[in-house]
Each structure stands twice: as structure tokens, then as C-alpha cells.
Structure 1
Amino acid sequence: MSTLEEHVDIAVPIDAAWESLHHAEHYPRFLDGVRDARTETGGRAHLDVEAGGRSRSFEAEVSDHDDRRVMEWRTTGDPRLAGSFSLQPIDQGHTRLQARLEYDPGTVREAFGGPKGFAQANAIERQVRGDLEHFKEYLEQQR
């Protein structure tokens, strides 16, 4: 299992960032490859994703730790992915978003194609970093 951690500092209060994480229907606006997303009952989310020329649908279980501002998620089927988003206040108007992704490189390659080994890890890292930057831009433009 591989783990990737990235963070971005966003010029919005922590409550605004926390609220935005909970609107799955907005994910296509800032997550590259997500074509459709929706929150479902029972702490679940559904995402339609296109990556590596392949389309996939995912169901994920989502759990909140509101007191710590941590949202954890994991897919309920293949490919097995898990992760979390953690928010920390920097000051009254700025928030740090820490993203953590746990994945099996072979499973990701099987599901989406793409490079192997180190090149794959670099591609996933660039993707996550880009998505965090898009989320930052999305939130800051909403102000």
C-alpha cells in the first residue's frame, strides 16, 4: 500500500472550507476527471470518474470527525482506495487542507492504466497536487 500526503493553504475561514468538502455535487468543478458526484444517504457518496481513457463509477463511505475537522473516506469496491481530508486553521481567514491518499499502485494501474512504478507515483502526486490547487482556486473565487 502506498500513501501520499499533500497540503494547500487556502485564504478562506475553516468553516467555509469544511462546508465545501461536504458538497460532492461540486467536485466536478475542481477534481480533474470527476464527471459527476453526489452525496447519498447513510454517509455515502457516488462519483463517476474518467481517467486514463477509462470511465468508472465509485461508491465511497464517508465519515466525519467534525470536532477535529477530519473527513475520512474509502471506496466500497474496486479499486480499493482510502483517504482523508484534514483542516487546520492558520488564522481567522486562512485554512490548511491536508489530503491523504492510500492506494495500491497495481490496483490503480489495473483500474485506470497509465505508467508503472515511479512514473505512476509521480503522476498520482501531480494529480492530487493539481486537484488541491483547483479546490483552493474554487474556494477563493467564491469569496
Structure 2
Amino acid sequence: MSSVMESIDVHVPVHTAYNQWTQFEDFPEFMEGVEEIRQVNDTLTHWKVKVAGATREYDAKITEQRPDERIAWTSVEEPKNAGVVTFHRLDDDHTRVALQLEVEPEGFLENVADKTGMVKHRAKNDLKRFKEFIEERGGETGSWRGEVGRPDER
């Protein structure tokens, strides 16, 4: 598995950045290669993506979601991937969005893309486009403030 970590500071409050990230169906607006996401239920999304020229569809399960803090997920089947995005309040109007991805490339083209740093490059550019998307709007397109997988000790 290949690991990627990227972050970006956005000029919106933490709740605005978090709320927007819960709007999975808007991801094609700022994520390269994401053609469609359908929210099946509170914890399941269906993705249609283009990776190294090949279209793939898969389901991803949200394993943890804490408002204004973090969203973690893992794919249910191939292609295997998992990740977490965390939201860090810098001040009332600025938030650091940190993304960590674990991706298992499938096939020759995806392995070449991984080895040439394409996954890292794509993640970095997706965060830049998220910044532009949310800052230009000045607000989120919607929100889901529910919790998933909250630890017992909280």
C-alpha cells in the first residue's frame, strides 16, 4: 500500500470546511478523476472514479466521523483504499485540512501512476481545488453533523 499525506489551510471556519467535506456528492466539483459519488446511507458511499485511464466503481464505508474533527473511511472492495481527513481550527476564520490516504494500486498503469507520484500530486491538487471551491462559495453546500464510530471513552 502507498501512503500519501497532504494538508492545506483554508480561509473558512472549521465547521464550514467540515460541513462541506460531508457533502460527498459534491466531490466531483474539486476532485480530479472522481466522476460520481452517491450517498447510499449515513455510512456508505458508492464511487465512480477514473484512475490511470480506467473507470472503477466501488463502495466505501465511513468508519469514523466526528463533527469538526475527522472523517475516516475504507473501501469495501477493490480498489483497496482508506483515508482520514482531519480539520484543525487555526483561528475563527482559518482551518487546516489534513488528508491521509492509503492506496493499493491495481494493475500496471496504476502501479506506474503510484511510483511516479501521481497519487500524491492528485491529492495535493484536490486539496487546492477544495480550498478554491469553499473559499469562492464562502459557505458550505450542506452538512451532515452525525457521528459514526465514536470511541466509548468520549
- What is the TM-score of this pair, normalised by structure 1? 0.88
What SS class does the counterpart of residue 83 from structure 1 fall into? strand
CA offsets per residue over residues 30-59 of structure 1, 9 Å max, x none?
000111112111401111111211111120
Aligned partner of 1:110 among 98, 107, 110: 107
Letter in 1 for 2:122: Q
Q: CA deviation at 1:64?
A: 3.5
Hey, what's the Cα distance between the residues in 1 that align with 2:71 and 2:108?
A: 24
Q: CA deviation at 1:7?
A: 0.2
Hey, what's the Cα distance between the residues in 1 that align with 2:93 and 2:64?
A: 22
Hey, what's the Cα distance between the residues in 2 that align with 1:94 and 1:39?
A: 28
Q: Give the RMSD, CA atoms, in angstroms.
A: 1.8
Map residues 83-98 of structure 1 onto 2, 5 A cutoff.
83-98=83-98
Change beyond 3 A, Cα 1:27–1:68:
closer
Hey, what's the Cα distance between the residues in 2 that align with 1:72 and 1:133?
A: 20
Partner of 1:55: 55
Hey, what's the Cα distance between the residues in 2 that align with 1:50 and 1:39?
A: 18
Partner of 2:28: 28
Hey, what's the Cα distance between the residues in 1 that align with 2:118 and 2:113?
A: 10
Q: Is the contact between residue 109 and residue 115 of structure 1 (CA under 8 Å) also seen in structure 2?
A: no
Hey, what's the Cα distance between the residues in 2 that align with 1:25 and 1:59?
A: 13
Letter in 1 for 2:137: Q
Hey, what's the Cα distance between the residues in 1 that align with 2:114 and 2:7?
A: 23
Letter in 2 for 1:37: I
Letter in 2 for 1:48: K
Hey, what's the Cα distance between the residues in 1 that align with 2:133 and 2:90?
A: 19
The count of corresponding residues between Structure 1 and Structure 2 is 138
Write out the 4+ residue segments of structure 1 that deviate beyond 4 Å after TM superposition: none
Aligned partner of 1:132 among 116, 127, 140: 127
1:19 aligns with 2:29: no
- Higher RCO (Cα < 8 Å, 6 or more apart): 2
When structure 1 is superposed on structure 2, of 65-74 and 36-45 the one drifting more is 65-74
Q: Larger % of helix: which?
A: 1
Change beyond 3 A, Cα 1:75–1:88:
same
- What is the TM-score of this pair, normalised by structure 2? 0.82
